[in-house]
Amino acid sequence: MSVLRSLLAMLAGAFVLAPHLACAQVPAPGQETPPAGDLYERALQSIAEGRKNDASEMLMQVIKDSPNHAGAYLEVALIQCGLGRADEAERLFATIETRFEPLSPGIQEVIANARDSGCSSWKPVTASSLMTGRGYDTNVNQGARNPVYIVEKDGGQVELMPLLEDFLPRGDQYTTLAADFVREVTPNGSVGFLQFMSRRNDTERRFDSNSLYVGMEAPYRFGNWTVRATGIGGLIALGGKLYQRQMQLQGRIGPPLPLPKTMQFSLIGGLTHAQYLALTNFDSTIYEVRGQLTYRGERLYASASAGASYDQARAQRPGGDRRGAALSMMVRVPIAGLATGELAYSGQKWNSSERYAPGLINQVRDQSTHLLRGTLIYPLPNNQSIQLEGRIVHNAENISIFQYNSRLIQLSWHWHSR
């Protein structure tokens, strides 16, 4: 309970009591006026990102440059308390009480709560979530939408042969389960995480899937630039057998652009290596770079991203290397009452560099996949929600046996710890 109260006190000081801090920063006659506060704003952003040590250093610099900045004193005192540095926190609390008297009732309450917590040593914050659901997928095996194999020949299309039943779409109901666990590993915002997802078909058990990912993310700041570095390792099983191993490195950079506070731009670069344990000559390394723009309003959240990628085959993979481009968009908005709706689109295009299988499939593969998703979210008490989701997938290719469509509908229950 003491740790929780410390965290609540810090959050209250950073966000809820912003109006009180603004009033406290108004100097008495003859006192020094605080500076515009660029460094203070960066410190508050560091607190929001969990980088407590970075924030503390910035706030101490603010206090050095502007000794009458009450907001900086309170924030750094709460950080020191949350990190278990009780003596330093108490010194700062006493300074606030004597230098900025009279204090508003809100600030007095924050200080009292922090003292009651005892400024215990830093303990990592954890968060977890759980999801389970039922759904129906019209094409669990990504079966070809055309039952006949078609090739381009002499400027026209020629039907060669009908496909076997196993290569045609198979619909099935399924049960899905997912769990996430996140834990702080340093006081400066680094976190470790674990993600598990499972999908079990009612009859098409060959296409059951399970995945497990473990990773770590660390935030950094260089001046006004923010960076989040992530490393992930994962295992994917298909039909009860280990199918793929993945290793991923990703960096998200936030440049200091003159955007409104409701908008944020990030530049994302990543490297993913995939090893296929059940297939020969399919290992690859994907290099990706994309830009993402997000908007957070009082009622509306929206994001859009676009990027390019290069898929380098690690052996004699059919089609060789690939070049790709991706586009995604998402909007979330309240619908009626407590209900929220999401609408999302994503598209991925890949162009291979060589014929897919000379002598058998002589075409150079040109793939374009489009996914449209709609979700209705209704919150329940105790951090729960019910979600109804529908998806439409259209995979258009110049090689007919890889073309497929699918429709999915899923009803799921979600819970998160906080």
What is the structure's pLDDT at 238?
A: 95
| Spatial CB neighbours of 227, under 8 Å, sequence gap ≥ 6 | 219, 220, 221, 251, 252, 253, 254
More confident site: 95 or 320:
320
User: Residues 295, 330: contact at Cβ < 8 Å?
Assistant: no
**Each residue of 66-87: pLDDT tens digit?**
877 878 888 888 888 877 778 8
**Each residue of 114-145: pLDDT tens digit?**
887 777 777 788 999 999 999 999 999 999 88
Q: How is 212-275 classified by DSSP, letter by letter?
A: EEEEEEEEEEETTEEEEEEEEEEEEEETTEEEEEEEEEEEEEE------TTEEEEEEEEEEEEE
| Distances, alpha carbon 285 to alpha carbons 40, 110, 264, 273, in Å | 42, 51, 29, 4
Mean pLDDT of the chain: 85
Residue 64 — very low, low, confident or very high, per pLDDT cuts 50/70/90?
confident
Angle at 44 between CA 39 and CA 47, to 5 degrees: 125
What is the structure's pLDDT at 107?
A: 81
Stated pTM of the model: 0.77
**Each residue of 295-305: pLDDT tens digit?**
999 899 999 99
**Each residue of 188-205: pLDDT tens digit?**
889 999 999 999 999 999
What is the structure's pLDDT at 332?
A: 97
